[in-house]
Structure 1
Amino acid sequence: MSGAATFDFAGERFVMLADRALFWPAHGALIVADLHLEKGSWYAAHGQPLPPYDSHDTLDRLARLAADTGARAIWCLGDSFHDRAAAARIVPAVAARLARQAAAAKLVWIAGNHDGLTAGAWGGEVADEWVADGIVFRHQGLAGETRPEISGHFHPKLRLSLRGRGVSRPCFAGDATRLILPAFGSFTGGLDVEDSAIAANFSGPYRAMLVARDRLLSLPCGQAAEKDAAASEPAAATRR
């Protein structure tokens, strides 16, 4: 599979995907966070007309990854919709696509702070959190959690200086027991991975991770010099 790299987390083998997602082969689960479907229509309803294609583009990418990985399940870690009224605005074509996706792979909707999802939404199962093989999946990391945890919410982005030019890419943020996913939605911004709001989720050092050229790029946070060096030497970019 192109655009992917394997890595271990909490004693399990995962596949990190360049397109801002995880795949867990043991469960056949594609894991994404922060789709923010219908964000464009929210802006339009508030007087900022934008092309209404973000939901379609997000679902295009989701369907492509599900097909590429052979996913039997899709776990969405919260803020799958941009706001609590999104379900009332969603166009029939997007609703139909969600129903088809739910028929093709089990959809699990983890509740986020934006969603407003109800039981059975779009043919999927709604839960406040999801636990598999001792790993807890939720929207926002919980302070004091002692189990391994995978979450979303913060939209981490890695910012680098590459040959004097600023570069920003969605990334994962993690340590041995916690992993924060980037936002999967096509129309989402991001928070610097070294921002204090993200750093507060980790008890010590953590890393920014993404897939580049089918390799896992793993960089320590808080050490800009190492980031610059890694960005300038793509053949030796993975540092552990």
Structure 2
Amino acid sequence: MPAAPHFDFAGHHFVPLAGRALFWPRHGALIVADLHLEKASWYAAHGQPLPPYDSHDTLDRLARLAAETGARAIWCLGDSFHDRAAAERIAPAVAERLLRQTGSVRLTWIAGNHDGLAGGAWGGAVADEIEVDGIVFRHQSMDGETRPEVSGHFHPKLRLQLRGRLVSRPCFAGDAQRLILPAFGSLTGGLDVGDEAIAANFAGDYRAMLVAGGKLLSLRCGAHAADDVTAMPRRAR
């Protein structure tokens, strides 16, 4: 894997990827959240036809990142499927791809508020949460959690005015104790990273982070936020 920006979290090196994922070299784990597979078919079933390619595109990107990082495991932090009935609608070709993926890496499905345990139908381990090296991985940040925590659920996006136009990109939101991943799915929207619903998960200021142009960009968020976009070539501060 080529050299990439990284940051320390809970005493461990993590690599944030431009593809809206997190890689943990220590465990060879590719970590993603909120795939929302079969979202287009859900809309179609409710009278809003969309091209049925979102699941394939999401899995294409997941397989590509797994190959690029040499991942030995994939951890999906909830809402991997758009709803609890996805198993009844999923196209055979998509189900086959999931089975192939679980045959090549160790896959862990964390239950989310949308999907329940639907992911168990295509192999891999299923859990409400997991703890690895003292870090808890779950779908949604939990009030009162004292362990370092990595989660998803909120689909954070960084929105900036640059040269007179609005730029919006999925981003990570984090401080020393908590890290919220961007949504990985191809048809997922996003919530402004400075929104109160995201800020409420942090005790004070936190940072929005994303990879662009081979650098880790960071912006302070919270009560003392300032327009201080910082480019960090190697490690977040």
The TM-score normalised by the length of structure 1 is 0.93
Question: Which residue does the alignment assign to 1:53?
Answer: 53
| Structure 1 residue aligned with 2:204 | 204
Matched positions, count: 233
Q: Do the aligned partners of 1:4 and 1:18 also contact (CA within 8 Å) in 2?
A: no
Correspondence 1:67-78 to 2 at 5 A: 67-78=67-78
Q: 1:224 Cα deviation (Å)?
A: 6.6
2:182 is matched with: 182
After TM superposition, give the deviation of residue 7 of structure 1 in Å. 1.0
The amino acid across from 2:38 in the alignment is E
Partner of 1:55, secondary structure, is: helix
1:139 counterpart SS class: coil
Q: Partner residue of 2:63?
A: 63
Which residue number in structure 2 is paired with residue 233 of structure 1? none
Matched AA of 1:94: V
Q: CA–CA distance in 1 between the matches of 2:18 and 2:11?
A: 22
Q: Residue 215 of structure 1 aligns with which residue?
A: 215
Task: Describe how 1:43-192 pairs up with structure 2 within 5 A.
Answer: 43-117=43-117, 120-192=120-192
CA-CA distance at 1:120 after TM superposition? 3.8
Post-superposition shift, 1:117? 1.7
Counterpart CA distance in 2 for 1:25 and 1:157 is 25
Segment drifting more, 74-83 vs 108-117: 108-117
Cα separation, 1, equivalents of 2:120 and 2:130: 16
- Residue by residue, what CA displacement relative to the aligned partner does 1:113-171 show, whole Å, maximum 9, x if unpaired? 00132584311111000110000000000000000000000000000000111100000
Q: Secondary structure at the match of 2:65?
A: helix
| 2:231 is the alignment partner of 1:237 | yes
2:33 aligns with 33
Q: Which runs of 5+ in 1 are unaligned?
A: 231-235
Instruction: Give secondary structure in 1 for the equivalent of 2:136.
Output: strand
In structure 1, how many angstroms separate the alpha carbons of the residues matched to 2:122 and 2:8? 32
Q: Structure 2: which 5+ residue stretches go unaligned?
A: none
The change in CA–CA distance for 1:37 and 1:205 in structure 2 (over 3 A counts) is: same
SS at match of 1:26: helix
How many angstroms apart in 2 are the aligned matches of 1:153 and 1:124?
A: 21
Q: 1:4 to 1:183 in 2, by over 3 A?
A: farther
Question: How big is the alpha-carbon RMSD for the aligned residues of Structure 1 and Structure 2?
Answer: 1.6
Distance 2:196 2:94 in 1: 36
Secondary structure of 1:47's aligned partner: coil
Question: Alpha carbons of 1:103 and 1:170: their partners in 2 closer, same or farther (altered >3 Å)?
Answer: same
Contact conserved, 2:87 with 2:118, CA < 8 A, in 1?
Answer: no
